[in-house]
Chains A and B, each alone.
Chain A
Amino acid sequence: MYLADQIRFNGQIFMRHRVRTGLLLLAVGLGVASVILLTSLGEGARRYVDQEFSALGNQLLIVFPGRKETTGGSPPVYGTAPRDLTLEDAMAMSRIPSIKAVAPIIAGTTAITVDNISRESIVLGSTPEIFQVRQLDVSQGKILPDRTRSEAMAVCVLGAKLKRELFGHGRAIGEWIRAGDRRMRVIGVLVERGESLGMDLSDMIIVPVRTAEQMFNSPGLFRILIELAGNADLPRTERRIKAIIRERHEGDEDITLVSQDAMLAAFDNILATLTLAIAAIAAISLLVAGILIMNLSLISVSQRRREIGLLKAIGASSTQVRQLFLGESLMLVSLGSLAGVIFAWSVVWIIGRVWPVFPIFPPWWSMPAAVGTALLAGLVFSLMPARRAAALDPVLALRGQGGRGG
């Protein structure tokens, strides 16, 4: 029996049982599509995080005040509050040769007012280095001047969105704004850019670090961003930073260092695991589809008893009968998988169009995994019905409806 004949023969069965076939195709298609779509979302999330991190530049180290370790419980070894991380600490770090740039950050919120328009915004107090470290650029005006490394100045750089909110399409450079109780002149507007690590920089205002210190009346830094030199040895640099802090903080190493690579690896790990878990959950729907195939195949075998008997009488071997039934399932699963793959890719494409920021993309393994699982489930769950069909006694099967003696 030719494969083409078998395909035509099964095709005629599908045409005959359109509803049954349609439902099975739907079940398999949805299963395959859900595996591909869900893993695409997981992979998209991973890529999104990757993309965000690489937007930060390659070799980045973030210094947080305080040390992340178990606290509470027995009497605290270190005081209840961590020692502040200060601007002087940041300056000391900048003297390490393997460090290219240090951007200390003081953060707070305050109302920004222009004429009668007021907007609550996050204020980042920093040095000109922040533009280098976070790869920021201005679309108009200029960045913070070099003097702001050590002095307070009444100047600021506005995020693109904040500028629009306050000035509309009008000119902002050279205008005066009020931030809290201080007046300052707008010297630059940031280039429009999406969110970065959950911080919407376009809705912030960047001021000199000393100005922020005065505004919020606190010498404590929110964090320090450090860009390492291209050939820097990360562990060595971390050790040196800790040594400086120990020296300056009376022996306490009360900072937490997080390297970009470590964060990226952690996220990567979490998201990859999550994607796999999602895929496994989605694969359950394929299992359900497999069980559906088995049920409907069993019904089909008992409905087609007489036909099976006839096929055997006119020369079909048990092997051929088994092949016919297995082939029927595999054909269904293949068609369903094809439909599912096409559907999933269309949805991925549409999401990519509608929401370009999110890099949704099916991981390379998701399609073979989805289709493979579907085929495997189809095969495994149709083995039993096919075997039952092959084992039918032709004499009894032909009698099917009974009513004949002798």
Chain B
Amino acid sequence: MIELKGVNKTYQVGETPLRALREVDLTVQEGEYLSVMGPSGSGKSTLLNMIGLLDRPDSGSYLLDAVHTETLPEEQRARLRGEQIGFIFQSFHLVNRLTTLENVELPMMLAGVSLGERRITAREVLAQVGLEAWSGHHPNQLSGGQLQRVAIARAIVMKPRILLADEPTGNLDQASGQEILSVLENLNAEGITLLVVTHDLNLGQRARRQIRMVDGLIETDTSVETDMSADHVPG
């Protein structure tokens, strides 16, 4: 479903160009669980943004469901982002003036879903992450773990096929982090393709496929057989 071929991306940082991705080739099947690890500046976030259609490659191609995305106009890329991809960020990125429920509704609002339908779906998804009782609260009334669960609810409310998590546990304590990761893994078990960027080796090793990046290159790409893989068949 995801196919990157010879993707290059260079950022201008001050005077020196920073090659964030060099000739990256990566193929991800539907339903896979990938972790991307590597030191700071190794290009793992850039890879995630590339897959999430937030960034365009300088050269190379990115096929999503066999469609060349690098040439699509911005409007269509935005729609693909809204419909196919869910983002989870280290710092949650919730809108503070909106309630939990309204935050979860936000992607549907942008996609033009009517208010009534939005309310129902958002409540369902909040229930799925165990926060139905907090729907009227504002983000500043929630704990870190709860905030990230709201963010997950927001990421999956449009029923995307790909979930991209950039250091999802980076701002959380150990227990909340574990909890969040299991929420994500459960979603993966239900069929969603999950990519997690992390520098935490323990978390990264929970994924069935582990990618290690150094200086914009994929250094290692290892698949680990776990008992979870028996639960579903990669498509």
How many Å lie between the Cα of A398 and that of B92 in the bound state?
10
Looking at the complex, which of B62-70, B82-90, B121-129, B180-188 is the stretch in contact with chain A? B82-90
Question: Which chain A positions have C-beta within 8 A of B155?
Answer: 314
* A316 and B40 within 8 A (CB): no
What's the nearest-Cβ distance from chain A to residue B147, in Å? 13
How far does the Cβ of B201 sit from chain A's closest Cβ, in whole Å? 15
Do residues A313 and B81 form an inter-chain contact, with CB atoms below 8 A?
Answer: yes
Cα A250 to Cα B38 in complex, Å, equals 115
B198's nearest neighbour on chain A, judged by CB, is A406
Contact B90 A314 (CB under 8 A): no
Contacts of A310 in B (CB 8 A): 93, 95
A355 to B83: give the CA distance in the assembly, Å.
Answer: 64
Size category of the B interface is 35 or more
Kindly report which residue of chain A lies nearest to residue B213, judged by CB atoms: A406
Given known A-B contacts A4-B115, A405-B40, A315 and B82 have beta carbons under 8 A apart: yes
**For the side of the interface on A, what is the size category?**
20 to 34
The CA of A264 and the CA of B230, in the complex, are separated in Å by 98
Q: Is the CB of A315 within 8 A of B107?
A: yes
Is B97 a contact partner of A314 (Cβ separation < 8 A)? Answer: no
Given contact pairs A315-B107, A318-B74, A307 touches B167 in the complex (Cβ within 8 A): no
* Interface 9-mer from A8-16, A26-34, A201-209, A239-247: A8-16
A316's partner among B98, B110, B158 (CB-CB below 8 A) is B110
Given A314-B154, A317-B75, A406-B38, answer yes or no on A306-B93 (Cβ-Cβ < 8 Å).
yes
Determine if A311 is an interface residue (Cβ-Cβ < 8 Å).
yes
Q: Please tell me if B135 contacts chain A, counting CB pairs below 8 Å.
A: no
Known: A315-B81, A395-B54, A406-B43. A401 touches B91 (CB 8 A): yes
The reply to whether A16 and B97 contact each other, CB–CB distance below 8 Å, is yes
Are A319 and B75 in contact, with the CB atoms below 8 A? yes
Residues in B neighbouring A314, C-beta threshold 8 A: 81-82, 87, 106-107, 110, 154-155
Whether B89 pairs with A5 at a CB distance below 8 angstroms is no
**B168 / chain A contacts, CB cutoff of 8 Å:** none
Known A1-B109, A1-B110; contact A312-B41, beta-carbon cutoff 8 A: no
Q: Collect the chain B residues with CB atoms within 8 Å of residue A315's CB.
A: 78-79, 81-83, 107, 110-111, 158
Residues of B within 8 A of A259 (CB): none
- What does the 1/0 interface line of A385-406 toward B look like (CB < 8 Å)? 0000000001100100100111
A398 to chain B, nearest CB (A): 7
Tell me, yes or no, whether B146 is within 8 Å of chain A by CB.
no
User: Counting CB contacts under 8 A, is A140 at the interface?
Assistant: no
- Residue B12 CB within 8 A of the other chain: no
Assess whether B42 is in contact with A394, with CB atoms less than 8 Å apart: no
Question: Cβ of B197 < 8 Å from any Cβ of A?
Answer: yes
B112 and A2 within 8 A (CB): yes
Interface segment among B44-52, B204-212, B219-227: the answer is B44-52
Residues of chain B touching chain A, judged by Cβ–Cβ distance below 8 Å, are: 38-46, 49, 52, 54-55, 74-75, 78-79, 81-83, 87, 89-91, 93, 95, 97-98, 102, 106-107, 109-112, 114-115, 154-155, 158, 166-167, 170, 197, 199
The 8 closest A-B pairs by CB, nearest first: A315-B82, A405-B40, A317-B78, A16-B97, A314-B107, A406-B45, A310-B93, A313-B87
Give 19 A-B pairs besides A314-B110, A314-B155 with Cβ atoms closer than 8 angstroms.
A2-B109, A4-B115, A9-B109, A12-B98, A13-B97, A312-B81, A313-B52, A313-B87, A315-B79, A316-B82, A317-B78, A395-B54, A398-B89, A404-B90, A404-B91, A404-B166, A406-B44, A406-B46, A406-B199
